[in-house]
Structure 1
Amino acid sequence: MGINSMLNNITLSEWNEDITNNLMPNIVILAVHIALGTIGNVLVILVYAFQMRGASEERYFIPILAFFDMIAVIYVGGYYIFQSCNQTIFSNNILCKTLVFFAGNTTYNSVFILFIIAIQRYMKVCRPRKQPMTISVKRTALFLALLMSLICALPLPFVFGTVPFHNIDFGIYGMRCGRLKDGHPLVRTVYSVVAGLFVFVIVTSLIVIYGRIIGTVFRRLQVNKKDLRSNEKRSETTDRGENNPVVDGFKGIEMVSITDKTIKHSTALQTRTNLTGHNIESAATKQRRTTNRRLTYKLTVMFLIITTVFLLSYIPKVVLLFLEGINEDFWETLSASQRPGVTFLYHIFILHNIVNPIVYAFFDIEFRQDAALVFKRLFIKPCICSSEIQL
């Protein structure tokens, strides 16, 4: 039953129940997000904790990002479910400020870790000759990321709190947790400007960094294609015996004496053996470099997709925050049919905390194989043991 069909003596709890029922699809979606995000990120943590302990340094931030994604999806999803169930009866101002602070903090953690990963990818791909990030540098960068997340979340309690929520149709007032309407104008203005600059700097930096990375990868792929063509031509020339030092070493052997012929033949064989060993070593080194390069490019594409999903999922949130800032009564003016759709867009940024394990599984073959082993250890072995006990 909608609000417009209710009696004029509607109570606050009835109004809240009506809005909660209206947002029930959003609550179900949030619950699904929490379940998927928790299962996926816990799987990533288990795989890296028990199966990929000796993973390459390029994967250093993956389990760390999974941990903070898990915390974010559980906390932020739970907070929004609680808020959806208390749209008009959220009267505890301190609780509101505390919940908003930790929601912002957990969200910023993932954002800054993605920024560190972008810098690491840039150094790995665009500056391969320079010394890569050491463990101490990575730990310092992670500490700074968590510190910056904390600093960025500190202003939130001064901007958000419990605010009056007006039912225009029946003239009843409730309280909801949202952006303050009557706070200090200077604080609100400074926060809006700083938040806007923060989003602009992060988004622009990520676009520029990955733009440079994509350009570098594209140029190297073009160079590799040219080198491959040159090697194919050189191989064809070698097969015909042209400009081949081993073949040239055997030319004219028939024109010398038997003794000289034997000596030169042995020398040529030694030369050929040395050349063959050198070629095998060069081929192995080249194969190793090619494998490492492919891993670097694959992980770079993987992190690029993760960052792209992050940017796309945050665009609706940023737009709604802007509309909420310029229109103090933004949420009050929404109709019953508009509220679920707008709320869904407001919560959609949680997706970037969920899709990361899916991207890992799609791009990283080693992760898929190790995840299958973890599943076997967790589910198959206990079943076998129980069946043996029964026998």
Structure 2
Amino acid sequence: MLSRIVNMKETYSFAFNFSMDEYYEFLSEQHSEELLPNTILQLIAAVFGMFGNTLVLLLYGKYIQDKSGSRYFIPALAFVDLVGCLSNAVHYYLDDTVYYNYPGLSLCKTLYFLILFTGGFSAHLILVIALQRYLFICRPFGQQMTKKLRRISVSIIFLFSFGYSLPSSRLIGRELISNELISSQQVISCRSNDFSFKGHRVMIWYLGILLLFILLNIGVTSALYIPVIRVLYKSFSHGTPNDRNHRDYNANTRSEERRISDMENIDMEERPKQDVRRNNFEHCNKSIDDRNRKLKARQRITIMFLVIIIVYIASYLTTLVTQIFAFAERSVMDLKGYRLNILYFCLRFNLLNHIANPYIYWIFDIKCRQELRKLSRYCIFKH
């Protein structure tokens, strides 16, 4: 592909007397036209993601009280997803529009680092969430994650993600200087900074290590959540007997109330005994209602995190496998039309993980929906 670009450069330079700047601008325009559908789709998706994560930060940070600690990691995950949406959107837009002459080398390295860092941080945080749900659901009487342990886990995830994302600043981004007759011009490529065979192998090894981290993360997350799913399935399968017992209690209570109301000539000394029995039935009904409500809330939160894990696995596996395939088979980058757009869509599918999470919260978390309704009513009445 590089030799093809050099030949094109020589052809256009001699035929049209292009300068280096004009030549790369021409190539970038062609590239931008090819990927216009992808660019529009990614910008729309990023706007939805930034809006959703900003709202989640507002709701969970200010309005929703988390006494049990089950929602502790949601604000941190929303913040990371917000930064991930922003960095991915900016980099992808620049990559589509100024592919052959990036605006700045530091900008290239920073955005690439943020993409890897936020992606890794989000993935490892989901693993810790799976561990928390496993301890809470499958080991309810064992050691749980205290607030101190949750803070330590976030710090460890930060350092670990920062560590393996940092080498990208050395491997990505390169300045190409062209010495022409009149002046020297500088072109920045936001790609591997070493086009030699050795640099090519280093990048494959680096991407391979990242893929290994993600696969291990996916494996551990799945191993922790499979027992949670089993417990969740059992709780659903036992839902009918609980409902039947609840109906039996209600029937007994109504029968008891009718019997008491019909006994007009009952002795006054016996009436307090009947009242005590009725209060006992009412207390049983209330306790069953509370237990069923807590069980359903626990089920919804568990399903919510399950959907988050499924979206995370699908998005990251698609991106990393496609990226390694594209780097190993450089000829796929010569694709045109809809094939090129499909390739780039798969390469950037990890953006879905940063976008989908806030909307998953809104679907499954009742508290989040309630506070969202209150906030929307407040905004409507205020205006």
Shift of 1:193: 4.2
Structure 2 vs 1, CA of residues 284 and 191 (structure 1 numbering), >3 Å: closer, same or farther?
Answer: same
2:334 counterpart SS class: coil
Tell me what 2:180 maps to: none
Q: Which residue of 2 aligns with 1:213?
A: 228
For residue 344 of structure 2, what is the aligned residue in structure 1? 343
2: CA distance between counterparts of 1:192 and 1:39?
A: 31
- CA apart distance, 1:126: 1.5
SS in 1 for 2:145: coil
Look up the match of 1:306. Answer: 308
Q: 1:91 to 1:69 in 2, by over 3 A?
A: closer
- 1:86-105 residue pairs with structure 2 within 5 A? 86-90=98-102, 93-105=105-117
Asked if structure 2 preserves the Cα contact closer than 8 Å seen for 1:92 and 1:162, the reply is no
**How far apart, in 2, do the equivalents of 1:240 and 1:189 lie?**
75
Give 1:28 deviation, angstroms: 1.6
1:238 CA displacement: 9.4
Whichever residue aligns with residue 17 of structure 1, its letter is: E
2:379 aligned with 1:378: yes
Q: Report the count of equivalent residues.
A: 350
The offset of 1:78, in angstroms, is 0.8
RMSD: 3.5
Q: 1:46 aligns with which of 43, 54, 58?
A: 58
Q: So what's the TM-score if we normalise by structure 2?
A: 0.78
In 2, are the aligned partners of 1:90 and 1:175 still within 8 Å (CA)? Answer: yes
Give CA-to-partner distance per residue, 1:98-119, whole Å, 9 cap, x none: 3311221122121122111111
Quote how far apart the aligned CAs of 1:51 are. 2.8
Query: Cα offset for 1:207?
Result: 2.3
CA distances 1:353-380 after superposition (whole Å, capped 9, x unpaired) = 1122222222233322211221233343
Question: Contact 1:313 / 1:352 at 8 angstroms: preserved in 2?
Answer: yes
Give the alignment of 1:54-73 within 5 angstroms.
57-73=69-85
Give CA-to-partner distance per residue, 1:49-83, whole Å, 9 cap, x none.
34324665322222222121111101111111112
Correspondence for 2:30? 18
- Structure 1 position 176 matched with structure 2 position 189: yes
The offset of 1:221, in angstroms, is 2.6
Residue pair 2:87, 2:111 contacting (<8 A) in 1 also? no
Q: Deviations over 1:285-344 (max 9, x none)?
A: 3322221221111011111112211211223212212213423x2454333553222112
Structure showing greater radius of gyration is: 1
User: % of aligned pairs identical?
Assistant: 23
Report the equivalent of 1:169: none
1:150 aligned to 2:162? yes
Of the three residues 89, 92, 95, the one matched with 1:80 is 92
SS at match of 2:90: helix
Cα separation, 1, equivalents of 2:290 and 2:225 = 25
Give the alignment partner of residue 291 of structure 1, picking from 290, 293, 306: 293
Match for residue 122 of structure 2 among 64, 86, 110: 110
- Report the residue type matching 1:177 in the other structure: C
Contact 2:249 2:285 in 1 (8 A): no
Counterparts of 1:175-324 in structure 2, within 5 Å, are 176-179=189-192, 180-182=194-196, 183=198, 187-188=202-203, 190-229=205-244, 266=269, 272-324=274-326
Which residue identity is paired with 2:191?
A: G
* Equivalent residues of 1:26, 1:344 under 8 A apart: yes
Amino acid at match of 1:139: R
Deviations 1:221-271 (A, max 9, x none): 333434544666788799999xxxx99xxxxxxxxxxxxx97xx84x6555
Partner secondary structure for residue 109 of structure 1: helix
Q: CA deviation at 1:275?
A: 4.2
* Counterpart-to-counterpart distance in 2, 1:369 and 1:234: 31
Q: Which amino acid aligns with 2:123?
A: V
Displacement of 1:154: 2.3
Runs of 5+ in structure 1 lacking a partner?
A: 165-173, 248-260, 384-391
TM-score (norm 1): 0.77
Instruction: Check the 8 A contact 2:25/2:98 in 1, yes or no.
Output: no
Q: Secondary structure at the match of 1:8?
A: helix
Q: Which secondary structure state, in structure 1, belongs to the residue aligned with residue 122 of structure 2? A: helix
- Name the residue aligned to 1:252: none
Work out the CA distance in 2 between the residues paired with 1:320 and 1:187: 18
